[in-house]
């Protein structure tokens, strides 16, 4: 006999429904969402399992941000539950909502939601079970924070460009590639006016850029001329407006520097943990510690997945089929479900690998030439799908990556 335990999670409590194989409710109750409450829940599950001679227990809950993480990990790692063949599932809320639509005129409350989750478990065709070792959990928190900071950095740079356009409307078009460099930001933080920059001696400005840029500019004189050309071509601001814009630019610059420093600190912590996890992904050209960590943190144990297709679906790198009669849609969309963090790191890693490995580079360019629109995005995602097969093979077989000597297009 099997037991199905549905749990509706909130920040304060856990609403529980325990169901048997026939869909009959054996017990329904609520406990606090803390260690004591989870321990009581564990005891009730064990009592019922022994009473009904259950040979398997399935526990499910919706993935509700951080609130479901602690009870899921507690129940997954509990020794008494593990002895009774227990599997814990964190389920996408979208799947529960769609399943609930089959029950017409069903009321909405937390106990009914727990009953729906238990019945969804009883129905079968379950998602990947949550089995994460501590090192993967620690790595996942770091890589997801890096994902968050990376997107904050992009957003902050966009704000900076908007404010920069007010101060110097022609600046972004003339020297955009160097706009976030140390030399340019130092120049702006010196609070030079547009007129001062445009009338400044070119050689003095070139020397300034060379010094602040630590000799990273291949041609500082050319960059200096571009800056002055932009300054002369830009609209002029009143003193009141320019002072306000200078404050905003300085604020954005400090925010960008702070985020970069935080990302650098995370990278060191990520690299330290990755070094302690045996894997062969780092043997792929173009894969550094960060990409490797982001992929490993979300996959965990590769044996959780049946095959590479299951891994691709988990990452959201699968396309829906649209077919009716003799009609087959030529243009279809990626599924909306899937692990967005894993999808992000897989695609970013693919973008790097295609520049370092001839096989992936040729495959990307082939897909790029196949269509007239969405070329880069389509080609990159298709190449990422190919990359998933490589990741699955290397992790599953503990195999070192060996490039092919001859690549067939």
Residue 190 has pLDDT above 90, yes or no: no
153-177 pLDDT per residue, tens: 999 988 888 888 887 777 655 555 5
pLDDT at 204: 87
Task: Decide if 405 is inside a domain.
Answer: no
Same-domain pairing of 146 and 263 = yes
pLDDT > 90 fraction of the chain, expressed in percent and rounded: 43
CA-based angle 41:46:49, to the nearest 5?
A: 125
262-291 pLDDT per residue, tens: 999 999 999 999 988 888 898 999 999 999
Same-domain pairing of 216 and 304 = no
CA-based angle 338:343:346, to the nearest 5?
A: 150
Whether the Cβ atoms of residue 231 and residue 188 lie closer than 8 Å to each other: no
Q: Would you call 54 exposed, middle or buried from its count of C-beta atoms within 10 A (0-12, 13-18, 19+)? A: buried
Domain boundary among 253, 271, 289: 271
Same-domain pairing of 202 and 249 = yes
309 contact partners, CB below 8 Å, separation of at least 6? 318
Same-domain pairing of 267 and 145 = yes
Whether the Cβ atoms of residue 89 and residue 77 lie closer than 8 Å to each other: no
Task: Decide if 409 is inside a domain.
Answer: no
Give which of 250, 287, 274, 247 is closest to 401, Cα–Cα: 287
Domain boundary among 220, 238, 271: 271
**Strand pairing of 2-9 and 25-32?**
unpaired
pLDDT at 128: 61
Distance CA 406, CA 409 (A): 10
- Work out whether the CA dihedral 388, 392, 398, 402 comes out positive or negative: negative
Q: Which residues pair with 324 in a beta bridge?
A: 327
Task: Decide if 380 is inside a domain.
Answer: yes
Question: Could you identify the residue written with the tokens 């409307």?
Answer: 169
230-260 pLDDT per residue, tens: 778 777 778 788 788 888 888 988 899 899 9
pLDDT at 17: 95
Question: Could you identify the residue written with the tokens 């599953």?
Answer: 396
Q: Taking the CB of residue 322, how many other CB atoms lie within 10 A of it? A: 12
> Which of 32-46, 73-87, 157-171 has the largest mean confidence?
32-46
Same-domain pairing of 124 and 93 = yes
pLDDT at 183: 67
The mean per-residue pLDDT over the stretch 189-193 comes to 66
Task: Decide if 391 is inside a domain.
Answer: yes
Q: Taking the CB of residue 189, how many other CB atoms lie within 10 A of it? A: 13
For residue 189, what are the CA distances in angstroms to 167, 280, 289? 12, 45, 34
360-387 pLDDT per residue, tens: 999 999 999 998 888 999 999 999 999 9
pLDDT at 148: 95
Residue 105 has pLDDT above 80, yes or no: no
Same-domain pairing of 59 and 120 = yes
Distance CA 118, CA 59 (A): 8
In the chain, the number of structural domains is 3
Task: Decide if 276 is inside a domain.
Answer: no
Task: Give 89's DSSP letter.
Answer: E
Residue 409 has pLDDT above 50, yes or no: no
Domain boundary among 71, 104, 131: 131
226 contact partners, CB below 8 Å, separation of at least 6? 174, 175
Residue 330 has pLDDT above 80, yes or no: no
Same-domain pairing of 286 and 356 = yes
Same-domain pairing of 19 and 107 = yes
Which helix (DSSP H) or strand (DSSP E) does residue 42 occupy?
helix 35-51
109-131 pLDDT per residue, tens: 778 999 999 999 998 877 665 55
pLDDT at 324: 46
Same-domain pairing of 167 and 261 = yes
Query: What pTM was computed for the model?
Result: 0.74
Same-domain pairing of 121 and 225 = no
pLDDT at 331: 57
pLDDT > 70 fraction of the chain, expressed in percent and rounded: 87
Which helix (DSSP H) or strand (DSSP E) does residue 28 occupy?
strand 25-32
The mean per-residue pLDDT over the stretch 354-359 comes to 93
Phi and psi dihedrals of 155, rounded to 5?
-65, -40
Whether the Cβ atoms of residue 8 and residue 117 lie closer than 8 Å to each other: yes
Distance CA 15, CA 20 (A): 17
Domain extent at residue 364 = 281-397
Task: Decide if 404 is inside a domain.
Answer: no
Phi and psi dihedrals of 382, rounded to 5?
-65, -40
pLDDT at 171: 67
Q: Which residues pair with 30 in a beta bridge?
A: 15
Start-to-end Cα distance in the chain: 54
**Strand pairing of 13-19 and 2-9?**
antiparallel
Same-domain pairing of 28 and 82 = yes
Distance CA 302, CA 311 (A): 8
- What is the pLDDT confidence band of residue 179, given thresholds at 50, 70 and 90? low
383-406 pLDDT per residue, tens: 999 999 999 999 999 989 988 755
Same-domain pairing of 255 and 161 = yes
Is 16 strand, coil or helix? Answer: strand
Task: Decide if 403 is inside a domain.
Answer: no
Task: Decide if 24 is inside a domain.
Answer: yes
Whether the Cβ atoms of residue 388 and residue 373 lie closer than 8 Å to each other: no
Take residue 173 and report the two structure tokens written for it. Answer: 């078009």
Query: Which CATH number is 105's domain given?
Result: 3.30.420.10
């Amino acid at each position: 006999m099997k037991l199905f335990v549905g749990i509706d999670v909130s920040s304060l409590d856990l609403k529980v429904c325990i169901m048997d194989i026939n869909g009959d409710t054996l017990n329904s109750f609520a406990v606090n969402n803390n260690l004591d409450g989870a321990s009581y829940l564990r005891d009730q599950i064990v009592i019922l399992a022994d009473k009904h001679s259950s040979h398997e227990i399935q526990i499910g809950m919706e993935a509700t941000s951080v609130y479901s993480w602690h009870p899921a990990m507690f129940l997954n790692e509990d020794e008494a539950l593990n002895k009774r063949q227990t599997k814990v599932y964190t389920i996408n809320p979208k799947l529960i909502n769609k399943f609930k639509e089959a029950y017409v005129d069903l009321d909405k409350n937390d106990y009914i939601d727990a009953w729906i989750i238990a019945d969804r478990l009883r129905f079968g065709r379950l998602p990947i079970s949550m089995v994460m070792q501590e090192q993967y959990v620690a790595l996942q928190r770091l890589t997801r924070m890096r994902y968050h900071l990376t997107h904050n950095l992009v957003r902050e740079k966009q704000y900076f460009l908007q404010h920069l356009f007010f101060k110097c409307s022609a600046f972004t078009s003339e020297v955009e590639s160097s706009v976030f460099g140390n030399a340019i930001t130092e120049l702006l933080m010196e609070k030079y006016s547009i007129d001062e920059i445009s009338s400044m001696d070119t050689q003095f400005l070139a020397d300034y850029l060379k010094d602040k840029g630590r000799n990273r500019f291949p041609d500082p004189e050319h960059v200096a001329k571009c800056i002055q050309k932009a300054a002369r071509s830009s609209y002029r601001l009143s003193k009141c407006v320019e002072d306000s814009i200078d404050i905003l630019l300085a604020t954005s610059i400090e925010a960008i520097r702070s985020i970069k420093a935080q990302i650098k600190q995370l990278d060191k912590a990520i690299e330290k943990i990755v070094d302690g996890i045996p894997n062969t992904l780092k043997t792929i050209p173009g894969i550094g510690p960060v990409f490797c960590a982001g992929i490993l943190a979300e996959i965990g144990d590769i044996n959780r997945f049946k095959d590479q297709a299951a891994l691709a679906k988990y990452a959201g790198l699968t396309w829906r089929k649209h077919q009716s009669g003799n009609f087959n849609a030529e243009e279809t969309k990626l599924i909306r479900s899937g692990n967005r963090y894993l999808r992000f790191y897989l695609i970013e890693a693919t973008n790097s690998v295609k520049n370092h490995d001839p096989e992936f580079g040729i495959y990307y360019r082939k897909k790029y030439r196949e269509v007239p629109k969405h070329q880069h995005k389509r080609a990159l995602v298709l190449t990422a799908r190919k990359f998933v097969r490589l990741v699955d093979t290397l992790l599953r077989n503990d195999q070192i990556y060996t490039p092919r000597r001859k690549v067939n297009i």
